[in-house]
Amino acid sequence: MSLRLQTRLLLILTGLGLLEASSAMSEGMSQPAGSAGEVIFKNHCATCHDGGDPHAPRSGALGFMFSPGVIYRALTDGPMRPMAQGLSSTEKRQIVEYLTHAPFTGEVESQAQLRCEPVSNWFDYGKPPSISGWGMTGSRNTRFIPEKIAELDAESVKRLKLKWVIKFPNTTSARSQPAVAGGAVFVGNQNGEIYALDAKRGCLRWSTALGREVRTAITIDPWKGSGPRPVTDAPSVYFGDLAANAYALNAVTGEIRWKIKLDDHPQARITGSPTLQVRPEGDRLYVPVSSLDGTATPATS
């Protein structure tokens, strides 16, 4: 028997073994038919997830694709909130347990981030915003970072190496475009927090919990001069969340300077990125608002 044929047979047998193991694992993890979570899921979720919507993951895959905390957040504050209207926290927890085949208290997982050493003057005013806002380039929306700003040419790309990496807790997607300024990377996330990360090391300067997913780009105030200034005069970072709230945070401390509910409609959300217009008579922030009207009526079987 040739080596190639032996290899093909081994791959086939290995694949069959994996399929058998996967089937046994699924059977061992399955809940009794008719559990409370299964009944609730079928009444409120199955029309899309086990029905004709090609974009909705099937119930059998959800528990493998997402952690319990991510599913729970989707039902309470995320895209599945309209379909989960009227469900109690216990019923949402039962859906999570049905999908993940594991007990769930309703508390999302926590993960300690590596924090930078506390330094009062960490913000570098000698590094004005290089990436900021809509398309990472403000109102131009080009998504193109010039070589001078990126400090990177085509020949250097093949020599790039991973410098640092972090993991966001309770997160399966990252859709917030970052802002880079003051020696930090400012970014929002699915877990409802805003992070200021040291650009060189990736350690955490600060994080601010908001409770609702942030998927907009982060926009930061420009400034003139490179000298230090009082914390109260620090630039602001701007963004919106999935509850239609617009925010301004102190870029040095993460403190919320203001929070405005832009639309009281229950399905209103902010997914488009705020754009800052700098004007002599006073800066102006433009914030788009969208909605989830298309999914406002809970699906029933």
The CATH 1.10.760 portion of the chain extends over 9-100
- Note the pLDDT of residue 283: 94
pLDDT at 78: 74
pLDDT for position 29: 44
| Owner of token pair 């919106």 | 240
pLDDT value at residue 51: 85
What pLDDT sits at residue 19?
A: 36
What are the φ and ψ backbone dihedral angles of 38, each rounded to 5 degrees? Answer: -65, -40
Amino acid at 143: R
64 phi and psi angles, rounded to 5 deg = -90, -25
> What is the pLDDT, as a whole number, of residue 191?
83
How does DSSP assign the chain, residue by residue? Answer: --HHHHHHHHHHHHHHHHHHHHHHHHHHHPPPTT-HHHHHHHHHTHHIIIII-TTSPPHHHHHHHS-HHHHHHHHHTSTTTTTTTT--HHHHHHHHHHHHTS---SPPP-----BPPP-TT---TTS--SBBSGGGBGGG------HHHHT--GGGGGG---------TT-S---PPPEEETTEEEEE-TTSEEEEEETTT--EEEEEE-SS---SPPEE------S---GGG--EEEEE-TTSEEEEEETTT--EEEEEE----TTEE--SPPEEE--TT--EEE---EE-GGG-SPP--
- Distance separating alpha carbons of residues 208 and 188, to the nearest angstrom: 10
* Residue-level pLDDT at 112: 58
Rounded to two decimals, the pTM is 0.73
Residue range(s) of every CATH 2.40.10.480 domain in the chain: 134-295
Residues 6 or more apart from 5 whose CB is under 8 A from it? none
For domain 134-295, give its CATH number from 3.30.430.20, 2.40.10.480, 3.40.50.720, 3.20.20.80.
Answer: 2.40.10.480
Given a cut of 50, the residues of the chain with pLDDT beneath it are 3-31, 298-301
pLDDT of residue 199: 96
Instruction: Give the burial class of 32: count Cβ atoms within 10 A of its Cβ; 0-12 exposed, 13-18 middle, 19 or more buried.
Output: exposed
Tell me: the pLDDT tens digits for 149-167? Answer: 888 888 899 999 999 998 8
Given CATH 1.10.760, say whether it is the number of domain 9-100.
yes
